[in-house]
Amino acid sequence: MSSDDAFHGIVDDIYSARHIRMYAAAGAWIALAGAGTGENDRLAGAAESAAAEPGVGLIELSDRMAETASWASGASAVAMSIANQLQTAGDAAAGATEEALLLEEQYAEASQAPAGQDVGMAAVGAAGRQSEEKQRLVAEAQGVLDRLAASFAQVTGGNAPAAPGGGAGGGGGAPQLAGG
């Protein structure tokens, strides 16, 4: 593979990281985190109100609502963690794109034919220096791509909190009255 092919292949890989899409995905996760926080607040308030009222089963209902509020808070924290990971990856992709643009400019400059006559030892020396510069730029572009890949490896998601009631589907139905 020629240095031209290698360089352009690496730069194309860098450009394929769509930082705008990562920012949009981060925004969606932030919205989800906000919704989880809002539900936590509403459920916690309703649980408090239910606990303060007299009546059969309201304490159990309050406890379940408090568990669900806690779950919503935990889910919100996971969503915000994922949003932060995506934001960081988006920042890395934007920075890598900027670096790739500069490297492309330098590579184009290094690829231009040297001025002067194309004969003798001077031409051979100029071609050697040009080849070395292009190889240096290929290595530099590979470093940018490697740093970008390392940043993407940090996007690991998160572990959702356990569902309230001890299972993925929540509790086992409505509370039962004693003897019923």
- Taking all residues of the chain, what is their mean pLDDT, rounded to a whole number? 88
pLDDT range class, residue 55, cuts 50, 70, 90: confident
Can you say how many angstroms the Cα of residue 145 is from the centroid of all Cα atoms in its chain?
16
From residue 106, alpha-carbon distances to 16, 95, 100, 179 in Å are 20, 17, 10, 83
pLDDT range class, residue 168, cuts 50, 70, 90: low
Name every residue whose Cβ is closer than 8 Å to that of residue 43 and which is 6 or more positions away in sequence: 65, 66, 68, 69, 72
pLDDT of 77 higher than 50? yes
pLDDT range class, residue 124, cuts 50, 70, 90: confident
pTM: 0.76
55 or 34, greater pLDDT: 34
* Per-domain boundaries in the chain: 7-111+118-153
